[in-house]
Homo-oligomer: A and B are copies of this chain.
Amino acid sequence: MVKTTSKISVPGFLANGVSVGIKGDDQKDLGLIYSTVPAKVAALFTKNTFKAAPVLIDTERIKRGIAQAIITNSGCANAATGKEGIQDALAVSSAAARQLKIPEEHLLVCSTGVIGKRLPVKKIETGIGKLVKGLHEDGIEDAEAAMMTTDKYPKIAIRKGIVGAKDITICGIAKGAGMIEPNMATLLTYVMTDALIDAKALNTVFHQVIDSTFNAVSVDGCMSTNDTAIILANGLAGNNPLERAQARLQRFREMLTDVLAELSQAVVQDGEGATKFITILVDGAKSKSDARRVAYAVANSNLVKTAFFGEDPNWGRIIAAIGSSGIPLEKEKISLSIGNMTVFSQDTPAHITLSKLKEIFQESKIEVRVGLGGGDKSYCVYTSDLSYDYVKINADYST
């Protein structure tokens, strides 16, 4: 498996990103990904009750198992926009499918940005010609740029490797920044691959890998209305087909995990205002679900997050967060380590040198390990700290 950043392209995929004036200042805000042949598709969407209009449309379309393009706008989420929002998204979809000369139901639509605002359909329709005309092999970076909102940098990960006797490529892109506690996906992430893979196997593997990557990160504990993760597999590598329960499917899974782990961790690192990358590893749980609840109780505690931002070695807040998780815990068995230092075990604080612990808090990557001592299940969550800049960015986002 080779990690390469020299040329970002996937055989059979064209892409582009243009500015149509939704975000203003000539920033790219409309992106397109297009496979030259119909591709197998799998996708996961937010569990929010107020699913955005494009999410509702895509949820139906991916049921066919085939898609060929994804059009994305940033600057407007087209969520909480009712029937008019659906009509707006369909208008965009119809215009794009016509230009691309593909069946409309093979086109997926995505939006990200402010919730509750109508989509500027006219601007988008006007720009689609230019968008389609400019599709090119190296266009993935342009498509990525077009879906950024408060992201500080683009998030692209690519892996190449031999699977089923052929070279295959897997490339993923993501946008993140805020409103990040994905539940089945992140805000937006798309994966393009030329691997030849059975539809059921693709669906199973994609769900599993999202669950261990994007569903294990949190920036602010807020689940979006637009979370969408899509994978398109166009089969052009001509490898021996990947089906369930095959060794070569495992190889594909590993490559996909690598791509999505890199992207999901980049989303945390670029979390709004983030200054630290914090890993919360909980083990010794009776169930994975218990481990997950404890991990998120720590990851989403504003008091824990502000202590990390302030580099204040106030480990007692982590203990309080563990204890507030609402699951039955045997406190005598619980241990807490930060970096390589055990600070609490057997219901007693360890004798530590506080200045040494402060040094650990001053690092940019910090690992918190919680041992529950009650079983053999574990869960790992990646999160960021809570800084002035998070407040600043979010205090005047829409106006």
**Chain A residues proximal to chain B, CB less than 8 Å:** 47-51, 77, 79-84, 114-118, 178-179, 183, 220-225, 300-303, 306-307, 309-310, 312-317, 319-326, 329, 331, 334, 343-344, 346-349, 354, 358, 386-388, 390-392, 394-399
Contacts and interface: CB of A to CB of B under 8 A. Distances in A.
A334 B50 CA distance: 10
B117 A316 contact: yes
A319 B80 contact: yes
B397 A314 contact: yes
A303 B178 contact: yes
7 contacts: A49-B329, A51-B323, A80-B349, A116-B344, A221-B302, A302-B394, A390-B391
A308 to B, nearest CB: 9
A210 to B, nearest CB: 18
A50 B394 contact: no
Top 6 A-B pairs, shortest CB-CB distance = A115-B316, A310-B395, A116-B316, A82-B348, A49-B323, A306-B394
A309 B80 CA distance: 22
Q: By DSSP majority rule, is chain A's interface helix, strand, loop, or mixed?
A: loop
Given A303-B178, A319-B225, A84 B387 contact: no
Contacts of A51: 323
Determine which residue in A82, A116, A118, A358 has the highest number of CB atoms from chain B within 10 A of its CB, and name it: A116
A386 B389 CA distance: 12
A189 to B, nearest CB: 18
A51 B326 CA distance: 13
Contacts of A314: 114-116, 397-399
Contact of A316 (B80, B300, B301, B392): B80
Contacts of A77: 316
Given A80-B349, A179-B320, A303-B179, A395 B225 contact: no
Contacts of A83: 347-348
